[in-house]
């Protein structure tokens, strides 16, 4: 199985807690004005890489922490689920970014979206909004984005924000979600 990647790095300290390997997927449907990673938007860009190759490179580096970013990771949910499941067997801590909201992902028709969610520790959700841009907040670009405790949220059937990674903005009430994109 192949996954389309924009890039793949190790030793990141800005894509989640600790020192992490980061898998940047290629292709994003959100087209946020002010996107920080516009090269990752075209679906025909980047490189096709075997999922096994990605798993091996992560295990070899052995950081025990991985983040999926993009692009839009959940467009390639089956490939990332395959990677995530293998890493979870090795005790990895897994975070993912998404331009979709948690609520939109919960309604998704692709069964691999739910499977991928089931492997994650933290999800940072929501599109990037210039009008809500804030350089001071933890791990996010705009204040509508939430740091979500995925196991607690799946158990509760609703979004539960992380109590571990807290800043004042992550404690704000949920934004209006009328611009959810259904996929």
Binding site for ligand SF4 (CB under 6 A): 28, 30-32, 35-37, 40-41, 70-72, 99, 127-128
Q: How far is the CB of 128 from ligand SF4 (least distance, A)?
A: 4
Closest CA to 40 of 125, 97, 101, 122: 97
Q: How far is the CB of 17 from ligand SF4 (least distance, A)?
A: 20
Q: How far is the CB of 105 from ligand SF4 (least distance, A)?
A: 13
Q: Is 127 helix (H, G, I), strand (E, B) or coil?
A: coil
Could you give the CA distance from residue 79 to residue 83 in angstroms, rounded to a whole number? 6
86/98 with CB nearer ligand SF4: 98
Q: What are phi and psi of 30, to 5 degrees?
A: -85, -30
36/109 with CB nearer ligand SF4: 36
15/72 with CB nearer ligand SF4: 72
CB 19 within 8 A of CB 61: no
In terms of phi and psi (left: phi > 0; alpha: psi -120 to 50; beta: otherwise), the region of 162 is beta
Q: How far is the CB of 31 from ligand SF4 (least distance, A)?
A: 5
Q: How far is the CB of 140 from ligand SF4 (least distance, A)?
A: 11
Q: Is 89 exposed, middle or buried (0-12, 13-18, 19+ CB in 10 A)?
A: exposed
38/50 with CB nearer ligand SF4: 38
37/118 with CB nearer ligand SF4: 37
């Amino acid at each position: 199985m192949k996954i389309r990647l924009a890039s793949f790095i190790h030793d990141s300290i800005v894509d989640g807690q600790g020192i992490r390997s980061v898998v940047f997927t290629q292709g994003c449907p959100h087209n946020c004005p002010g996107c920080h990673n516009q090269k990752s938007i075209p679906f025909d860009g980047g490189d096709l890489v075997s999922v096994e190759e990605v798993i091996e490179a992560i295990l070899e580096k052995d950081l025990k922490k991985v983040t999926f970013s993009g692009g839009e990771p959940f467009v390639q949910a089956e490939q990332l689920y395959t990677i995530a499941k293998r890493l979870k067997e090795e005790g990895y801590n897994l975070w993912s970014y998404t331009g979709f909201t948690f609520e939109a992902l919960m309604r998704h028709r692709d069964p691999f979206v739910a499977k991928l969610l089931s492997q994650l520790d933290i999800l940072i959700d929501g599109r990037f909004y210039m009008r809500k841009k804030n350089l001071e907040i933890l791990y996010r670009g705009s204040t509508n984005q939430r740091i979500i405790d995925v196991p607690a949220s799946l158990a509760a059937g609703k979004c539960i924000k992380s109590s571990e990674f807290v800043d004042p903005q992550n404690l704000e009430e949920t934004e209006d979600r009328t611009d959810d994109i259904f996929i």
